[in-house]
Amino acid sequence: MVVAGLDERDIAAAVMGGMWTIILRLPEAERTGTDRKLPSPQILWSTAAAPVVATLELVGGIALIIGLLARPIAALLTLDMIAELAQVHAGSGVFAATGGFELVLLLGAAALAIALPGAGRFAADRVLFAGRSPVLSSLA
């Protein structure tokens, strides 16, 4: 499907990046999950992981909006969501309102949907890496 010259991957990358940046800006009362539980003794390496995860989600969300390094960032975000689901949300049920895994699962699936096919036609990756070495063009 093509809408106004944008294909599904362009739209998915913009929505995905927007979701990550909006979620990080929710008021404290509306947040559940990792940001409330890190650092925590129950989560492996939580003190070291907290700033890394926060940076990945914020910078990665912005990078996905513009389509910069979409495949590697989306792959890292997928791994982040898998770890978050397993260590934080799995025991809280399904619904995000109770700290469950539905939003984490949605974000992980969306990141995987960007990581596999890559960025869309209007992504910064296409402009920067298309026609370059095979390693660099695989990012696009």
Q: What is the 3-state secondary structure (H, E, C) of 28-87?
A: HHHCCCHHHHCCCCCCCCHHHHHHHHHHHHHHHHHHHHHCCCHHHHHHHHHHHHHHHHHH
27 or 123: which leads in pLDDT? 123
Q: Is the pTM higher than 0.75?
A: no
Cα–Cα dist 97/87, whole Å = 17
Quote the domain boundaries for residue 87. 2-137
Residue 128 in this model has a pLDDT that exceeds 70: yes
Q: CA nearest 89: which of 22, 31, 29?
A: 31
pLDDT of amino acid 78: 94
Report the b/e string of 64-86 with b at 16+ CB within 10 A. Answer: bbbbbbbbebbebbbebbebbbe
Domain count, the chain: 1
pLDDT by residue (tens digit) across 29-68?
A: 444 444 555 555 556 666 777 788 888 989 998 998 898 9
